[in-house]
Structure 1
Amino acid sequence: MTDLAPYAVRAETSRGRLHPEPDNGVRSPFQRDRDRIIHSAAFRRLQYKTQVFIYHEGDEFRTRLTHSIEVAQIARSIARRLGVDEDLAEALALAHDLGHPPFGHAGEEALNGMMRPYGGFDHNAQSLKAVTVLEKRYAEFDGLNLTWETLEGLAKHNGPIRRPSSFMAEYDSLHPLALETHASVEAQVAALADDIAYNNHDLDDGLRAGLFTLEEAAALPLIGGMVREVRERYPEAPRARQASEAIRRVINLMVQDVVQEAGRRLAALAPASVDDIRAAGRAMVAFSAPMQEANQQVRAFLRGRMYRHWRVNRTTQKSRRVVQVLFSLLHGGPDMLPPEWRDRAGEPGSPACAGVVCDYIAGMTDRFALDEHRRLTDPHIPG
């Protein structure tokens, strides 16, 4: 494309794929990456993976799938404003949560604890593993064989990797991703879009669940101004509509802030290519200082009023226990794994077995994990 900014990633100069493939002729390499992600099993499983609420707690709460779609929409909007490749930004947004285990952060914390003797667990590294090793769709290779640019952005969209996980280091030795540098603007856009979507949609879900009120959320400077505007303009609107309208306006305000701040940083750096972005000493896509402070206030509010709410705490504790029990039973008894996993697990209790069990659990949906827990712990349920 000729209308992209000079610092954008360009499909025609892509570094290609680990396993060379001919050009499609219809879709760009990054469009193909996006489509492979959408058609992957890991992406489909996001439908029943928790954002905050377990799947059976309500049909309208966010899941990892709906969150990823919302992040992709925001990412495309910002990428368009900054003149970078929208398809690459969208692909990264859709793939960024593929490595999350069941039960949201509770599941990740539990799995990280069980894997601590073996190097720990990191969902970003697991996302990379999902698209390079764990997906089994193609006859000629494991994984999705995504482009270098998509893999780079997936690995380090949150910034340079100073201490890569063992898997990330192993993959980097095979297919170097320049982990010590910043990622492209497209990857940075996906990361900020995640922040925007995450906080605002958790506000929406928290209000819907009755964990806090709109008046309580309006005490935050960022939210309060929008709530006042909405109530002045739509005083007769139902409370739920006022909340949705206010959150919509907050998202728009945050997107505008990112575009303006990124514009200032890019103008100061004057990058002539994406390599200048990678070599920059700081991220080019970021919130302004006031917006960053406001965003931290929203996070602190959600941490206290939503993530640590007694109802959520109960679910969190139960979810952690499910993951811990699954790991302990399967690590000690890999003969209970399905054949395709058991054959790779090795000796019970070994590091290799821990890695296979970790991959197995990380790929579970909430409901599969609950069902598997019942199958493994209830003698009345056949295996």
Structure 2
Amino acid sequence: MTLREQLQEREEAVLAPLACRSSQSRGRARPEEECAVRTPFQRDTDRIVYSKAFRRLKHKTQVFLQPEGDHYRTRMTHTLEVSRIARAMARALFLNEDLTEAIALGHDLGHTPFGHAGERLLNEVMPGGFAHYEQSVRVVERLEKGGEGLNLTWEVRNGILCHTKGTPAATLEGQIVRLADHIAYINHDIEDALRGGIIYPIDIPLEISSLLGFSHSARVNALVVDAVQASLGQGEIRQSQEVGEAMLALKSFMFEHVYTNPMAKGEEGKAQDMLRQLFEHFQKYPDGLPADFQTIRAEEGVDRAVCDYIAGMTDPFAVEMFKEIFIPKGWTVL
């Protein structure tokens, strides 16, 4: 018996009845020989972490555009926090931590430069629209590994696709990631907004803090504990009504005071104008796209290739590309 088979036997014995066992996966789009050491979901985690798209997350905006400070969140640190919250919940509920981790680490691979401002812009200019969760699936199915994709299991791809809204994921592990994503971003965005002087502790409604806690760690712990207790034996991942309403109120508070605050988001219009000009430039001059995107251009059209190229950019790369194309260079006499 291989080590992988021993791990899968352990899953059968230990995991909750409704947990997704790796031995019962619906498999991959392209069948592969099984690994002797790792389960399919463990292999998916490794493929995501070693991908180029994952490495680029460290230079993509979470909320604040290119903040001057080492402690503000990026899309990478957000992803890691989602993974930790999701794994804690999965462990407490005896669900599959490996599947949960793979979905969490892959859920934002398709996010644009400059956060949701970039996503809104691409949704506006791309025929047929754009959504980062759909692009994340496209990254793992089509764009990574020179166009081969990562060939992840169905359960991981389903969890990535369903992590934001719409139909819940088919697995409880995928449903955990959706809730963990919300818990993570609301609370770390509060911490970043406090650090940046956008809001102050006294601004957070007292009735919310009295229930969830007055610090980042207290709020996250309260939300995780509540979700675990409310989900036990329910066949779905849920929150208690009281805590769920408090989290929605906290989210509304953030939209009113942070996500639409001119001090925090005032540069977003400039970022969108820049991405719009880049999109229009490469539409007009598609020969300037890198070689990997020329194949997409031939097979799926110019708009699709341009969208994939821009969606994959980091914040600083987009800025440098804009400078190179649109900002005149000084003339130096040699």
Return the TM-score normalized by structure 2: 0.90
TM superposition shift of 1:293: 1.3
Change (3 A) 1:323 1:131: same
**Which residue in the other structure is 2:83 paired with?**
72
Residue 247 (1) aligns with residue 205 (2): no
Cα-to-partner distance string for 1:64-107 (whole Å, 9 max, x where unaligned): 10000000000000001111100100110111111110000100
Determine which of 308, 314, 327 is the counterpart of 1:365.
314
> Quick one: distance in 1 between partners of 2:248 and 2:166?
22
User: Is the Cα–Cα contact under 8 Å of residues 136 and 143 in structure 1 kept in the other structure?
Assistant: yes
One-letter amino acid of the counterpart of residue 30, structure 2: H
TM superposition shift of 1:38: 0.4
Residues 261-340 of structure 1: matches in 2 within 5 Å? 261-263=230-232, 265-266=234-235, 284-340=236-292
TM superposition shift of 1:156: 2.3
Aligned residues: 320
Residues 219-238 of structure 1: matches in 2 within 5 Å? 219-224=205-210
User: Is the Cα–Cα contact under 8 Å of residues 220 and 297 in structure 1 kept in the other structure?
Assistant: no
Over aligned residues, Cα RMSD in angstroms? 2.0
**Which residue in the other structure is 2:154 paired with?**
148
**Which residue in the other structure is 2:122 paired with?**
111
User: Is the Cα–Cα contact under 8 Å of residues 9 and 84 in structure 1 kept in the other structure?
Assistant: yes
> Quick one: distance in 2 between partners of 1:356 and 1:81?
43
Cα-to-partner distance string for 1:169-190 (whole Å, 9 max, x where unaligned): xxxxxxxxxxxx7410000011
SS of residue in 1 equivalent to 2:232: helix
Residues 15-164 of structure 1: matches in 2 within 5 Å? 15-115=26-126, 118-136=127-145, 142-158=148-164, 161=167
TM superposition shift of 1:56: 4.4
User: Is the Cα–Cα contact under 8 Å of residues 160 and 182 in structure 1 kept in the other structure?
Assistant: no
SS of residue in 2 equivalent to 1:57: coil
Cα-to-partner distance string for 1:132-172 (whole Å, 9 max, x where unaligned): 110016xxx701111121112222244655xxxxxxxxxxx
Return the TM-score normalized by structure 1: 0.79
One-letter amino acid of the counterpart of residue 91, structure 2: R
Change (3 A) 1:225 1:5: closer
User: Is the Cα–Cα contact under 8 Å of residues 279 and 306 in structure 2 kept in the other structure?
Assistant: yes
| Structure 1 residue runs without a partner (length 5+) | 162-180, 229-245, 267-283
| Structure 2 residue runs without a partner (length 5+) | 1-10
TM superposition shift of 1:126: 0.3
User: Is the Cα–Cα contact under 8 Å of residues 41 and 98 in structure 2 kept in the other structure?
Assistant: yes
Change (3 A) 1:200 1:76: same
Q: Which moved more, 1:128-137 or 1:373-382?
A: 373-382
User: Is the Cα–Cα contact under 8 Å of residues 159 and 182 in structure 1 kept in the other structure?
Assistant: no
Among all aligned residue pairs of Structure 1 and Structure 2, give the percentage whose two residues are the same amino acid. Answer: 43
Change (3 A) 1:320 1:58: same
User: Is the Cα–Cα contact under 8 Å of residues 113 and 315 in structure 2 kept in the other structure?
Assistant: yes
One-letter amino acid of the counterpart of residue 152, structure 1: N
Determine which of 337, 345, 352 is the counterpart of 2:301.
352
> Quick one: distance in 2 between partners of 1:204 and 1:250?
11
> Quick one: distance in 1 between partners of 2:206 and 2:128?
39
TM superposition shift of 1:296: 1.4
TM superposition shift of 1:227: 5.7
> Quick one: distance in 1 between partners of 2:48 and 2:303?
27
Change (3 A) 1:354 1:190: same
> Quick one: distance in 2 between partners of 1:254 and 1:110?
32
One-letter amino acid of the counterpart of residue 245, structure 2: E
One-letter amino acid of the counterpart of residue 151, structure 1: R
TM superposition shift of 1:313: 2.8
User: Is the Cα–Cα contact under 8 Å of residues 220 and 298 in structure 1 kept in the other structure?
Assistant: no
One-letter amino acid of the counterpart of residue 285, structure 1: I
One-letter amino acid of the counterpart of residue 191, structure 1: R
TM superposition shift of 1:346: 5.0
> Quick one: distance in 1 between partners of 2:37 and 2:291?
39
Change (3 A) 1:131 1:220: farther
Change (3 A) 1:17 1:343: closer
